[in-house]
Amino acid sequence: MDHFSLVDGAMHCEGVPLSVIAEAVGTPVYVYSTATLKRHARVFREGLAGAGDIHLAYAIKANPNLAVLRVMADAGYGADVVSGGELARALAAGIPASDVVFSGVGKTVAELTTALEAGLGQFNLELEEEGVVLAGLAAARGLVANATLRVNPDVDAGTHAKISTGKRENKFGVPIDQAPAIFGRLAGLPGLALRGVAIHIGSQLSDLAPLEAAYRRVGELVAHLRGLGFPIERVDLGGGLGVPYREGDVLPSPAEYGAMVARATKDWGVRLMFEPGRVIAGNAGVLLTKVIWVKPGAINPYVIVDAAMNDLARPAMYDAWHDFRAVHPTGDRMIANIAGPVCESGDTFAMGRDIDAVKSGDLAIFRTAGAYGATMASTYNSRALVPEVLVDGDRFAVVADRILPETILAAERIPEWLTPGD
């Protein structure tokens, strides 16, 4: 069941008409469905039922809103974080530090130290030196850091180049063939318990074949490392499962993914860890916007909406498609371009698209905006930072305020040497 649907001709999120949210909070605004988040959390877990001992760590980067994190914590998910800021959010949402995995290619000494002292569950090391530094920090505090080594399997994930992470030229992980030697050098260090390997080959993956190929390489590595005497207890298989952005897109389901995982990992005898982000949050959110003008264009009219690339960066960054729907569709259609008010031609959500006919003042949504939406927002062009609303049944709450340009301006100052003297 879709929790964003038309009821009596009006688009709702669960039991709440989107027009009521627009009236109360203004636009643009992100709207998330609790029921969808919960359903995705459950379906992903159920899909992996045949994969043995698993640990689920929601990839906070996809949607780090505190209320969303609380929903995920209640659903029994730990967290995958990539910065001290994300770690602070996970802890603030009530996720125990022991259920948090710290990924990321540039963890600073300060971040490593904070995470260690918080009792972090697992560090996914990206390079040998990070392991040496972490071991030193831990040993100096009488602690032992649990870690895995992230390997780069050199697999083409078949996704957008900017979100592919498992090819040898990408910055992530150590080349898989160097892993045994690095294990050899890190394994005996006091302060470090190197318990396994981690992998993540990219995001918005629409085909399981590259994932399966990568997992097979990891399987060979696990066997090799065991043969060398290293006790491998954990393998973190990362995130990456794609979601349908366009009507008609067919993506592997969590159940199909789970069946592949069970097949590829059946002899490993390890605890498997997963870091899903987009597949949890993507279709749980929309960006609600209002049409400012319908501007005649040389080729097609431009529907100018009050949301822009600073609110939803994905189309400008990755040429991503987000379905556009009227909140009160009339049944009429139009061929139009859709753009925001920002002063860049790249601030365009669609060109020449067949959409619900809209006019000035109408409300509309960009769908599948719950992941990598609000979290990638900026205040470019001195626009407000977009707010977020969480719906649960027939109630809703503002879970992130609109940060107004005045508030941002108040954090800036003119140094005294630039102020006019007397």
Ligand X SMILES: Cc1ncc(COP(=O)(O)O)c(C=O)c1O
Ligand Y SMILES: N[C@@H](CCCC[NH3+])C(=O)O
Annotated catalytic sites, by residue?
A: 343
Give the angle 282-286-289 at the CA atoms, nearest 5°. 150
Q: Does 243 bind ligand X (CB under 6 A)?
A: no
Q: Does 362 bind ligand X (CB under 6 A)?
A: no
**Number of residues located near ligand Y, criterion CB under 6 A:** 7
The residue type found at 380 is Y
Task: Choose, by CB under 6 A, the member of 163, 262, 294, 398 that binds ligand Y.
Answer: 163
Task: Choose, by CB under 6 A, the member of 40, 314, 367, 383 that binds ligand Y.
Answer: 314
Residues 6+ apart with CB under 8 A from 422: none
For ligand X, the closer of residues 29 and 243 by Cβ is 243
Task: Choose, by CB under 6 A, the member of 123, 324, 372, 396 that binds ligand Y.
Answer: 372
Contact letters for ligand X, residues 46-75 (x by CB under 6 A): -------------x--x-------------
Asked whether residue 372 is marked as a ligand-binding residue, the answer is: yes
Report the partner that residue 84 touches, choosing among ligand X, ligand Y, none (CB closer than 5 to 8 A by kind). none
- Distance between start and end Cα atoms, the chain: 68
204, 387, 210: which is closest to 307 by C-alpha? 387
Q: Does 123 bind ligand Y (CB under 6 A)?
A: no
For ligand X, the closer of residues 239 and 285 by Cβ is 239
Please give the DSSP secondary-structure letter assigned to residue 44. Answer: H
- Least gap, CB of 368 to ligand Y (angstroms): 11
What tokens does 81 get?
A: 């974080």
- In angstroms and rounded to an integer, the radius of gyration of the C-alpha atoms of the chain is 23
DSSP E strands, 47-172:
54-59, 78-81, 100-102, 122-125, 145-152
- Least gap, CB of 191 to ligand Y (angstroms): 28
Strand partners, 220: none
**Number of residues located near ligand X, criterion CB under 6 A:** 16
For ligand X, the closer of residues 195 and 278 by Cβ is 278
Task: Choose, by CB under 6 A, the member of 121, 252, 277, 340 that binds ligand X.
Answer: 277
Q: Does 27 bind ligand X (CB under 6 A)?
A: no
Q: Does 80 bind ligand X (CB under 6 A)?
A: yes
For ligand X, the closer of residues 104 and 329 by Cβ is 104
- Least gap, CB of 166 to ligand Y (angstroms): 11
Q: Mark the segment that binds ligand X (CB under 6 A) among 27-35, 114-122, 258-266, 277-285.
A: 277-285
Q: Does 310 bind ligand Y (CB under 6 A)?
A: no
Q: Which long-range contacts (CB under 8 A, 24 or more apart) does 163-170 make?
A: 163/202, 163/203, 163/204, 163/318, 164/201, 164/202, 165/200, 165/201, 165/202, 165/203, 166/199, 166/200, 166/201, 166/202, 166/210, 166/214
Q: How far apart are CA 74 and CA 380, in angstroms?
A: 35
294, 313, 386: which is closest to 32 by C-alpha? 386
Q: Does 195 bind ligand Y (CB under 6 A)?
A: no
Interface of this chain with ligand X, residues 203 to 232, rule: CB under 6 A? 203
Residues 6+ apart with CB under 8 A from 45: 54, 56, 75, 76
The residue type found at 11 is M
Asked whether residue 276 is marked as a ligand-binding residue, the answer is: yes
Asked whether residue 387 is marked as a ligand-binding residue, the answer is: no
Report the partner that residue 314 touches, choosing among ligand Y, ligand X, none (CB closer than 5 to 8 A by kind). ligand Y
Phi, psi of 229, rounded to the nearest 5 degrees: 95, 10
Report the partner that residue 238 touches, choosing among ligand Y, ligand X, none (CB closer than 5 to 8 A by kind). ligand X
Q: How far apart are CA 97 and CA 118, in angstroms?
A: 6
The annotated binding site is made up of 240, 275-278, 314, 318, 344, 372
Residue ranges that bind ligand X, judged by CB under 6 A: 59, 62, 80, 103, 165, 200, 203, 238-241, 275-279
The annotated binding site for substrate is made up of 278, 314, 318, 344, 372
Residue ranges that bind ligand Y, judged by CB under 6 A: 61, 163, 203-204, 314, 318, 372
